[in-house]
Structure 1
Amino acid sequence: MVRQERAARTRAVLVGAAAAEFVRHGYAGTSLKRVCEAAGATMGALTFHFPAKRALAGEVCDQAVVLTQAALVGVRMRAPSALQAVVDASHAVVGLLAGQDVMLAAARLVREGVPVGGDWQVLWAGVVGELLERAWEEGVLAVEPAQAAGLVRCLMAGLEVRVQTAVCRGGDRRQVGEELAAAWALILPGLVRVGHRASLRVAGSSG
């Protein structure tokens, strides 16, 4: 049991170190030697858990999907309306991007075309698309759901790059949540029918 716990801890530390490397250097630029040094592990320990860099990248992407799925389940349970759930989902993901290197690393790996693991962005976009369809059916949206979904995807893609840049330049990634709220304040008047705007909270229903 002790050996299993130690192995699990080593695996987790390796994944965290790899995620930080992928964020800053991309897939091609990530060195397994640097991953081992950052994790305080030997190359033998790394290859025991992950026989190749692609396997390590796949685990990073899979963990990002798990984090996203858990966040979205919580949002759908708590949000008072479909459109508020869209706003809340965006804040949940931005919070993960700001606090979890695996999220940023997975986004960069997908953007670079590395064929590994799952894609948290596809999962997130699918849920947001469903919520926007429901908001349309409820008479809340003033534009077609597909148009709204495209706008939201562009917003989130920009924020993901914004966080990525902050990390690589040593900036503060936490302020992105405030920038997201400001963006929603500008966007929602064009998306929502009159009479439904007052109930929406741009900082999230838990913010």
Structure 2
Amino acid sequence: MQALTCTLSVALVTILAVAWYFGHPLHVQYAAFFAAGGFSCIEYSWYATTTEGKNGELSFTPFQSTCRPGHTTWAQFWANVLYTPFLLFNYREFIPNPYIRIILFPFNIWLLEIIEGYALILIFGKNIAWTYNTPDAYFHNNIRTGFAGLWLLLGFALEIIGYRAIDTLSQACVGVIPIEVIFSGFLLVMGFGMSRH
């Protein structure tokens, strides 16, 4: 049974990766890597500058000994690579007004967390990238409504400088590094990760 589950997981990841590769223009693919890397840095910093209370609530406590160790996961990075075209590009096409995009950005992130979270549960049997353990966690602890303010802030930052920076950088990189090199790394890392779970 475990061999069948592993085979189905490999097949699902392969289908998603091939669809991503052939379904998005090259500059969007590069942007997906930059955005996923940027969020990994944000997540690592968030862990390293916050203290978690007994009830799961977080306090911003930079430079304190109570801060949690910095943390992010390969699973979340690669899930973000696959989903970023929808998060940043399709979202802007679907909602052209930047003010409405900011207001609705928490829902954009929650949709990402629901889709990525359940995909990881399907592939690995559990969400190996993140889990929320607070009373405001929903959808099998994949989303946390209490983070709405943080997601609004992220949406605002993307509108002010993020979209422009990601678009400019991704356009400049087209033709410099073959996307196939990065894509091969995706298959190797995901295959390695699945063989360990």
Same-fold call, TM cutoff 0.5:
no
The structure with more radius of gyration: 1
Calculate the TM-score normalised by the size of structure 1. 0.28
